[in-house]
């Protein structure tokens, strides 16, 4: 259930709720947490720097090579070097761009795009917003252009109000893509205390949009047909694609998160005009609340935990007015994970958690509640050995905590970096993936940036008791493509 709640004070939930509770972060700023462990001999990991709290994205200016990171509350930092040590220099804040919940950032040349959400109606409503800045090589504060704002629609008091987040630039530089997550756990009514009667998801939630790179001053409504006619609504029915990335062939992929039911977490090959099933299907499994006779009971339904927040808050219930499946629409399934890692799933017949390696079943795509994010591909073939041109993703959750093993069989492993070997399957017109763990032991990792064969992974950090604790950036050295390195050396000489 990947998100950052709009009610981050006093509670940060879903994507980053766990980070606030970690005792590991209640320490002086200069203290470095335990170094993550490489699971390969040809990968090394070192601590790069401590950063400000609530870090969400890490990106690189493609012209200058400078690295930037952003925080949930709207700050944009440039990493500068002082006395041979990297430091954070704030260049923008929410007061500059007006995005009070900043979740997306991307560069196109000298242009910085930012996207996120604005609290309205006394924090009961939400508006999406994207802006762009032209960054010149000077210390002057850049001028801002608005790409779009949305009309107001209902926010809510749940952990599932995902908002506008991931950004990605098309390989040809003509378009910018943005994800907007669901405002519900599984399509239920969330009326925010009656402020937005009968409100479920709408055209401005659980979809991926595409805009011309030079678009400006747009106003987006909840009119689905108009959004499609204008060419903005690109793909539908994805619960929360908190990260997207293009592979070396120009295919767009997105990693999404299912809700509190034990659905697997999807990775989708995102294609224009496709519908990916939410809220009727998640992780390749039907959402039971769509059926008129549904009577949820954790004692008889192994997919529904009695400790699940959505169950405790009674969001699972008999729901005869649940929207009907769209007629004539075929849902596109997720990428099938063939293992050996992140492919544990709950069997629909027995209700037991089993391993896809043992059953031979492909999972759609990663184990439940693992919160995949930080998706990227080696688009420049900079990596060597078996990694060249491949994909990679982080799992935010799972694994042992503070020396105590996670009791859930679906979360025995996590907080790691996964290697994705993608293969197109002509019969299904979709992709399959071989998934292998590479690094273990991160703390709340939220994003990744590949520069050559150097990988930077940023951790969220957070606050405890009003004290800033901050996160870390880890520098990971991967095997280099020696042919590419020699070719680039010749070009520079």
* Six token digits for residue 277: 């099933």
Question: In this predicted structure, which of 21-30, 333-342, 353-362, 481-490 has the lowest mean pLDDT?
Answer: 21-30
* Six token digits for residue 139: 């210390």
**% of residues, the chain, pLDDT over 70:** 88
Q: What angle do CA 293, 296, 301 make, to 5 degrees?
A: 115
Which pLDDT belongs to residue 272? 98
Cβ-based neighbours of 406, under 8 Å, separated by 6 or more: 398, 399, 400, 412, 414
Residue 144 near residue 96 (C-beta atoms within 8 A): yes
Residue 2 near residue 162 (C-beta atoms within 8 A): yes
Question: Could you tell me the CA-to-CA distances from 263 to 42, 371, 403, 433 in Å, in that order?
Answer: 34, 12, 27, 18
As a whole number, mean pLDDT of residues 256-267 equals 96
Which pLDDT belongs to residue 467? 52
pLDDT tens digits for 350-372?
999 999 999 999 999 999 999 99
- Is the pLDDT confidence value at 465 over 80? no
Residue 203 near residue 224 (C-beta atoms within 8 A): yes
pLDDT tens digits for 271-288?
999 999 999 999 999 999
Residue 351 near residue 409 (C-beta atoms within 8 A): no
* DSSP-derived pairing of the beta strands 430-440 and 336-340: parallel
> How many angstroms separate the CA atoms of 18 and 87, rounded?
26
- Is the pLDDT confidence value at 12 over 80? no
Which pLDDT belongs to residue 169? 98
* Six token digits for residue 8: 């981050």
Instruction: Please choose, from the candidates 253, 236, 235, the residue with its C-alpha nearest in 3D space to the C-alpha of residue 244.
Output: 253
> How many angstroms separate the CA atoms of 282 and 206, rounded?
12
- Is the pLDDT confidence value at 2 over 70? no
Residue 256 near residue 393 (C-beta atoms within 8 A): no
pLDDT tens digits for 25-75?
233 333 455 899 999 999 999 999 999 999 999 999 999 999 999 999 999
CB neighbourhood size of 368 (10 A): 27
pTM over 0.95: no
As a whole number, mean pLDDT of residues 474-492 equals 82
- Is the pLDDT confidence value at 215 over 80? yes
> How many angstroms separate the CA atoms of 348 and 262, rounded?
10
Which pLDDT belongs to residue 6? 40
- Is the pLDDT confidence value at 492 over 90? no
Which pLDDT belongs to residue 157? 78
Q: What does the mean pLDDT of the chain come to?
A: 90
Going by pLDDT thresholds of 50, 70 and 90, the confidence category of residue 489 is low
- Is the pLDDT confidence value at 425 over 60? yes
Which pLDDT belongs to residue 229? 98
Which pLDDT belongs to residue 9? 33
Q: In terms of pLDDT, which residue wins out, 311 or 484?
A: 311
> How many angstroms separate the CA atoms of 156 and 154, rounded?
6
Which pLDDT belongs to residue 405? 65
Which pLDDT belongs to residue 491? 61
For residue 72, report the phi and psi dihedrals to the nearest 5 degrees: -60, -35
As a whole number, mean pLDDT of residues 391-418 equals 85
As a whole number, mean pLDDT of residues 199-223 equals 98
Residue 218 near residue 148 (C-beta atoms within 8 A): yes
pLDDT tens digits for 111-151?
999 999 999 999 999 999 999 999 976 667 789 999 999 99
Cis bond upstream, residue 212 (ω within 30): no
- Is the pLDDT confidence value at 174 over 80? yes
């Amino acid at each position: 259930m990947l998100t950052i709640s709009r009610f981050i004070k006093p509670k940060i939930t879903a994507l980053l709720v766990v980070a606030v509770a970690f005792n590991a972060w209640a320490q002086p700023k200069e203290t470095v947490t335990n170094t993550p462990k490489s699971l390969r001999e040809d990968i090394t990991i070192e601590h790069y720097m401590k950063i400000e709290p609530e870090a969400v994205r890490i990106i690189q200016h493609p012209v200058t090579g400078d690295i930037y990171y952003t925080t949930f509350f709207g700050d944009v930092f440039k990493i500068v070097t002082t006395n041979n040590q990297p430091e954070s220099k704030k260049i923008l804040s929410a007061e500059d761009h007006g995005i009070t919940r900043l979740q997306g950032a991307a560069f196109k040349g000298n242009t910085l795009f930012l996207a996120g959400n604005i609290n309205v109606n006394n924090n009961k409503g939400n508006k999406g917003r994207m802006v762009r800045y032209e960054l010149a090589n000077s210390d002057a504060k850049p001028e801002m252009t608005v790409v779009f704002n949305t009309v107001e629609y209902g926010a809510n008091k749940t952990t599932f109000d995902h908002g506008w987040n991931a950004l990605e630039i098309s390989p040809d530089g003509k378009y910018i893509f943005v994800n907007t997550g669901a405002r519900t756990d599984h399509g239920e009514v969330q009326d925010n205390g009656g402020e937005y009667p009968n409100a479920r998801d709408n055209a401005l939630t659980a979809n991926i949009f595409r805009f011309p790179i030079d678009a400006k001053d747009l106003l987006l409504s909840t009119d689905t047909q108009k959004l499609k006619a204008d060419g903005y609504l690109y793909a539908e029915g994805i619960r929360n694609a908190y990260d997207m990335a293009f592979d070396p062939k120009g295919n767009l992929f997105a990693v999404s998160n299912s809700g509190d039911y034990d659905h697997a977490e999807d990775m989708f090959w995102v294609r224009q005009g496709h519908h990916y099933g939410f809220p009727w299907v998640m992780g390749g499994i039907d959402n039971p609340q769509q059926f008129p006779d549904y009577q949820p009971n954790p004692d008889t339904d192994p997919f529904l935990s009695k400790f699940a927040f959505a169950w405790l808050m009674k969001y699972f219930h008999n729901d005869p007015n649940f929207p009907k499946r769209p007629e004539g629409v075929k849902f596109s399934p997720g990428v099938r994970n063939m293992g050996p890692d992140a492919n544990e799933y709950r069997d629909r017949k027995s209700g037991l958690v089993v391993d896809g390696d043992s059953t031979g079943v492909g999972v759609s795509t990663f184990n439940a509640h693992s919160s995949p994010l930080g998706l990227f591909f080696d688009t420049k073939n900079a990596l060597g050995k078996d990694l060249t041109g491949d994909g990679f993703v982080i799992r935010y959750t799972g694994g042992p905590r503070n020396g105590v093993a996670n009791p859930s069989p679906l979360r025995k492993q996590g907080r790691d970096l996964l290697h994705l070997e993608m293969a197109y399957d002509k019969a299904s017109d979709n992709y399959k993936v071989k998934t292998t763990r590479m690094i273990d032991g991160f703390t709340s990792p939220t994003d990744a940036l590949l520069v050559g064969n150097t990988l930077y992974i940023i951790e969220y950090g957070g606050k405890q008791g009003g004290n800033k604790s901050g996160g870390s950036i880890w520098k990971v050295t991967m095997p280099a493509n020696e042919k590419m390195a020699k070719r680039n050396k010749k070009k520079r000489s």
